[in-house]
A = this chain, B = another copy of it.
Amino acid sequence: MPVLNDEIPDDDDFDAGRSRGEFSGVTPEDFMRGGEGGNPPGWLDRGDIERARRQLPIAYVEVVPVRVDEMGAVSQAGTLLCVGEDGNIGRTLITGRVLYHETIREALARNISKDLGELALPMLPTSPQPFTVAEFFPTPGVSEFYDPRQHAIALCYVVPVAGDCKPQDETLDVEWVDPRGDMLETFIGQMPNGHGSILRQALSWAGAL
């Protein structure tokens, strides 16, 4: 089974060019929205993110991108094919950390844009109420959600996307599946560590199964 990109240290989670010492002097105001170019404010260097991951739960968003018909019903759900740390290819969803002083909506928009590109045209959720909260633990067996890197608390949302989705960065491809088609169970079976369960729960909540 491949190691998926959301189970390895994520390049987005640290900024190798910024030392922790420099970071410590940053004031809340530096993290206001609209920060200057380069890495977004809130990124941590590798030492800081690794320490945090041993010390407290990390807040995540997880997104099931969907195509909807003109009545709002889900016609397709999107999954990502990614290369894991071990060089194998795996299937996953859009997932990423909420950065310091970033709103949930900003985290959703940033992570969708990172994986699907700038032209995906997501309809971000009207309410902050997630359809579920998935708790990933670094110890296998505590829950169906497992993440060897960390204890993560993932707020899960279904997000309709109306535009063109182009794989970005380490995402090799965006593959869509019909919720009522034969391939759904195959896709879910290829999504380890609980992400397949989140996909199934999203489609269940949407009334699409």
* Chain A interface (Cβ < 8 Å from any Cβ of B): 23-24, 26, 28-29, 31-32, 42, 44, 48, 51-52, 54-59, 66, 68, 71-74, 97-106, 108-109, 123-135, 137-139, 142-144, 151, 153, 155, 158, 160, 197, 200-201, 204-207, 209
Contacts and interface: CB of A to CB of B under 8 A. Distances in A.
A204 B144 CA distance: 12
A126 B55 contact: no
Contacts of A99: 56-57
A105 B205 contact: no
A135 B100 contact: no
Nearest to A45: B55
B129 A72 contact: no
Going nearest first, the 6 A-B pairs with the smallest beta carbon separation are A72-B124, A128-B133, A71-B105, A201-B204, A28-B138, A57-B59
Contacts of A52: 52, 55-56
Nearest to A124: B72
Given A68-B126, A205-B205, A56 B100 contact: yes
A169 to B, nearest CB: 22
Contacts of A130: 129-130, 133
B205 A132 contact: yes
Contacts of A126: 66, 68, 72, 74, 158, 160, 206
A32 B73 contact: no
A82 B49 CA distance: 34
A37 to B, nearest CB: 19
Contacts of A71: 103, 105-106, 109, 124
Nearest to A72: B124
Contacts of A153: 59, 98, 104, 155
Nearest to A137: B101
B132 A128 contact: yes
